Chains A and B, each alone.
Chain A
Amino acid sequence: MRRLTVPSAEPLAAPAEPDDDTLMANAAAGDQAAFRTLMARHFRRVYSLAFRMIPNASDAEDLAQDIFFTVWLKRAEWQPGEAAFSTWLYRVTLNRCIDFKRKRKPVGEDQIPELADDRPDAAALLQQHQASRILRGATLKLSNEQQAALALFYQQGLSNAETAEILGTSVSAVESLLKRARNRLRKILRNRSKDLLGDSG
């Protein structure tokens, strides 16, 4: 009887995940599964970015869904090699957020929903939520471009050059946007809460 040879017990390498360009190319050919993978990979980032720009989580989620549906409809227009998919997606997201905000009335800080919490460590969480709420209120008073620059730089962790590419501007323009945003934020926050920033004001 022939004996089967047992291969060496080296762990099998997991198949490499296809990159965004490949997934998008497949999606452009009508592959919905590829598009689902792409969306699952980027949905939270798009939603988080939208939530930074739009104060309501429900609106941010609706917007993120609309953005991906639009990406599906316009998938044939995307040209690989011109820009990274994520850069293109961020640009689409920011443009949609800005359009959304233009159509809506500006939202005041008092309209940002309170975060309810009744857990045992509520005091610490409440302080964190208050800080979060104050910061959100202050951020929403900045211009759309300043908000976008802050979100891309701090939340998405992008460099000034990457932020500039997404915003379609120069690195020095991004530096200026960030400078004005930080300056304004500092002044707003100084007035809002000494506890948040210490005694530096």
Chain B
Amino acid sequence: MGLQEFQDLLDRYGGDPRDWPADRRSEALALAETSLDAYRLIEEMRRIELMLATAVDTPDPSPDAVSRVMDRIRDHESSLAGATMGYATAERKDPPSVGAVRALLSEVGDVLGGFVYRPIILFAAMSLAGILVGVADRAASLQEIQGGFLFFMMNP
């Protein structure tokens, strides 16, 4: 095994011989024992790995980090429940009662009566009067026709 191959082995499997493939381990260890360069390479890799495992100073998270997520979850669930309740309430809304409709119409009538109802009533009354006069007139005409017919039949 040459030094480059040894370096590749370290890069691929790390500096712990237990992680090296069994069929190359003894040869690699023999090189590390006889070559100072190989020995230094293995030491270098072990230092890097030690730093990777330990050296990064991870600051502590905020003590209330978990609580803040739970607060957010509670807020979310509350708003979700509120929205569902509102929807359900809207779904369950009863139709307006007859009394309520009457009261509403009465209110509308009070407001609009002076402007709308009175002319309508007047118009309706006039129309009714016209119809009655027309019917009476027509009835009179029919009576006349009927009278003439009877006169003709009786006096052929």
Contacts and interface: CB of A to CB of B under 8 A. Distances in A.
Interface class of chain A by DSSP: helix
Interface residues of B, number: 34
A48 B76 CA distance: 26
A43 B70 contact: no
Interface class of chain B by DSSP: helix
Interface stretch (B8-16, B90-98, B121-129, B135-143): B8-16
Interface in A138-194: 139, 150, 154-155, 175-176, 178-180, 182-183, 185-186, 189
Contact of B10 (A73, A135, A182): A182
B156 interface: no
Given A36-B70, A43-B65, A198 B57 contact: no
Contacts of B47: 196-198
Contacts of A32: 70, 73-74, 77
A90 interface: no
B49 interface: yes
A23 to B, nearest CB: 14
Interface stretch (B26-34, B36-44, B110-118): B36-44
A35 to B, nearest CB: 7
Contact of B48 (A52, A68, A129, A189): A189
Contact of A154 (B49, B62, B68, B74): B49
B61 A61 contact: yes
B88 interface: no
A39 interface: yes
Interface string A47-74: 1100110000100010011001100110
Nearest to A47: B61
Contact of A132 (B13, B55, B62, B70): B55
Interface string A78-108: 0000000000000000000000000000000
A198 B40 contact: yes
B6 to A, nearest CB: 12
B50 to A, nearest CB: 9
A198 B70 contact: no
Contacts of B41: 200
B58 A48 contact: yes
19 contacts: A32-B77, A39-B66, A43-B65, A47-B61, A48-B58, A51-B56, A52-B56, A57-B59, A61-B62, A68-B69, A69-B76, A72-B73, A115-B57, A128-B57, A139-B56, A179-B12, A182-B11, A196-B47, A200-B44
Interface of B: 8, 10-14, 40-41, 43-45, 47-49, 51-53, 55-59, 61-62, 65-66, 68-70, 72-74, 76-77
